[in-house]
Amino acid sequence: MSQVSEVPESGRSGSTPVPPTLTVPIQLRVNGQIHTIQVEPRTTLVDALRTHLGMTGTKLVCGQGACGACTVLLDGERVTACIILAIMCDGREVKTIEGLALPDGTPHPLQAAFVRHDALQCGFCTPGQIMSAVAFLRDHPEPTIDEIRAGMAGNLCRCAAYIGIREAVADAAKQMRASTATSGAATLAQDAGEMS
Long-range contacts of 146-151 (CB under 8 A, 24+ apart): none
Tell me the residue ranges of DSSP E strands in the chain.
24-30, 33-39, 71-74, 77-80, 93-95
CB of 184 vs another protein, minimal distance in Å: 27
Among 34, 88, 102, 150, binds another protein (CB under 8 A): 150
Among 66, 88, 185, 186, binds another protein (CB under 8 A): 66
CB of 12 vs another protein, minimal distance in Å: 6
CA 24 vs CA 67, 94, 106, 179, 188: distances in Å: 29, 19, 37, 43, 35
What is the side-by-side strand order in the sheet with 93-95?
A: 33-39, 24-30, 93-95, 71-74, 77-80
β-pairing verdict for 24-30 and 71-74: unpaired
CB of 24 vs another protein, minimal distance in Å: 14
Among 27, 139, 141, 158, binds another protein (CB under 8 A): 158
Among 32, 77, 116, 186, binds another protein (CB under 8 A): 116
Among 46, 126, 170, 173, binds another protein (CB under 8 A): 126
DSSP letter for 52, please.
Answer: I
Among 63, 140, 175, 187, binds another protein (CB under 8 A): 63
Binding site residues, another protein, CB under 8 A: 8, 10-15, 17-18, 20-21, 40, 42-43, 47, 50-51, 54-64, 66-67, 69, 96-98, 100-101, 107, 111, 114-116, 118, 120-127, 130, 148-150, 152-166
